[in-house]
Structure 1
Amino acid sequence: MQNIESDDLAEFVISPLILQSIKPEISQHGFGGFWFQGIPNRAYQDYLHNSKTSILTRRMLHSSGGVYSSSHTVQKIQRHYIDQVAARDVNFSLALKLEQPYYYQLSEGGQANKANKLFSSYGIKTVLSYPMRHYASEAWCGRFTLLSKEGDLHPKLADLETSLKRVQSTLFEHLHHELNPYRQVSLFNQTALKALKMVASGLQNSEISEELHITIRGVEYHLESMRNKLSASNRANLVHIAHQLEII
């Protein structure tokens, strides 16, 4: 049976210094490991809609970008889940409903499902998805996926939420930009983002063209692309939405 925790760290694994301060908050409720990510508040609706023109495509939601784990082993579990289980697992979409905590169902019709086979191979018997409101954003929130080797674990949710608020506050303090789901590298064209930042600072298209070494027509193309992606009505509204999503 594999251990949930590991000292072997990699990219997107929470640093030992931060983990030392937050781990007791998690473990006191019976959870031995977790991963944490920023989740768009509209994720469930966009996942069901599954539009190729939406910012939040299923491909984007089926990604490990911006997900931070409590150990290298938990990171492997999360990536295995995303790569091989999530697309056909009912738990994935249900956990995108962010109104309340969600316990993963690890059996279907009395039989162990694929998620069960993955988690049980690490001795995990309880998986709890716990969304946490972002105090400073109406566009996205945090979400913990908590792992425990205890079966039928049902902690007092009020006490657990109090602990998770403190943990989320610490993680946002150190990793806020990295956790923002709208700041993932593949979500927006980087030249378009640079152009949008220049618009927000008051530059005109001709000035942006000179700064980015592209044609004015190229600037217009990038800004129009961003306007369509963000469903903005005009240039000012585009800048306003970009500020709300914290991408500029």
Structure 2
Amino acid sequence: MSIETQSCNIDPKHIRRVREFLLPYGVMDFFYSIITHVNRPALHQFKKLGRRLPREVAKARRIICSRDDLREFRHRYLTHFATTDITYKAYFNNHRSGLSVWGAPDLSDNKRSQFRRLLEDYGVSSLAVWHLPIRHHPGWYSEFVFVSDLGREALLRQLGQHQQQIEYQLQLFACHFNELCISELNPIVNFNCLSDKALQVLKLTAEGYSSDEVAQTLSMTESGVYYHLERLKDRLCARNRVQLISQAHTLGLL
């Protein structure tokens, strides 16, 4: 099975710390990413980030994952079940901040039995999603997806009874993950909204290269460099190069 999403380059001790915190609440494992809210204003213009289509989400370059085979579980759900599961929309598109403990997917009988086998294959009894808004990034959310061997009601009870202290700690963990991995997790890069060439032009410009120097370094025409810069300014809602570079730093692109 070809899985496009890889794990972030992060010291396992940071992941282990989160997992150890969650275990007493019935959460065996988790994966973490930054997602976008489809109905919120943003600091940028990328249509792809406003759709949240399952097969596009499955193509994310990176996530933070406490157990490597969860990447496969995530991929199989997104590519085989999410497009026909209306609970995908409820939990992942029209989401709210805070905790949602996932009910059974709304699927046909055949698909439902296949999904049960998927859960059994990975030792999963129930799932929960926790969304946290990210400061300074309108429309961006930290997303923890929890995997549990408890039933839905038991997991809901465990998490619900301690919701305030769990959310406080998750905010700290999310800030730490974002600080360590923002260049990999920011949605613009993670969901392939910019070409590698555009990112190279942006980085060299931020380093002080002139358009002529960028063109020579990347074996491009100068007009090609101008094209990428103008397109970047439009996409990142920047009026000039100084604002473009500032915005790129804010969004974790540099």
Q: TM-score range by the shorter chain?
A: 0.7 to 0.9
- Matching residue of 2:99: 101
Corresponding residue of 1:12: 7
The answer to whether residue 71 in structure 2 is matched with residue 75 in structure 1 is yes
Distance in 2, matches of 1:186 and 1:115, equals 29
Shift in CA distance, 203/176, structure 1 to aligned 2, threshold 3 Å = closer
After superposition, the Cα gap between the structure-2 partners of 1:88 and 1:28, relative to the gap in structure 1 and judged at 3 Å, is same
| Alignment equivalent of 2:47, drawn from 36, 54, 60 | 54
Deviation larger for 228-237 or 84-93: 228-237
Task: Point out where structure 1 has 5 or more consecutive residues left out of the alignment.
Answer: 1-9, 47-52
| Alignment partner, residue 45 of structure 1 | 39
| Structure 2: unaligned runs, 5 residues or longer | 41-45
**Which residue does the alignment assign to 1:200?**
206
CA RMSD of aligned residues (A): 3.2
CA distance in 1, matches of 2:108, 2:217: 62
* CA shift digits 1:79-102 (9 cap, x unpaired): 211222222222333323242322
**Alpha carbons 1:139, 1:244 under 8 Å: kept:** no
What's the counterpart of residue 187 of structure 2?
A: 181
The letter of the residue matching 1:161 is E
Change (3 A) 1:246 1:174: closer
SS at 1:101 equivalent:
strand
- Give the secondary-structure state (helix, strand or coil) at the position aligned to 2:7: coil
Q: Which residue of 1 aligns with 2:177?
A: 171
Output the TM-score relative to the length of structure 2: 0.74
Contact 1:205 1:216 (C-alpha < 8 Å) held by counterparts: yes
Q: Secondary structure at the match of 1:176?
A: helix
One-letter amino acid of the structure 1 residue matched with residue 97 of structure 2: E
CA shift, 1:120, in A, is 4.5
The answer as to whether partners of 1:55 and 1:229 remain within 8 angstroms in 2 is: no
Kindly tell me the number of residue pairs found equivalent between the two proteins: 231
Whole-Å Cα distance in 1 between the matches of residues 170 and 244 of structure 2?
34
**Pick from 53, 57, 61: which aligns with 1:65?**
61
More helix per residue? 2
**Percent identity of paired positions between Structure 1 and Structure 2:** 21
Q: Secondary structure of the residue that 1:213 maps to in structure 2?
A: coil
Classify 1:15/1:102 alpha carbon distance in 2 versus 1 (closer, same or farther; 3 Å): same
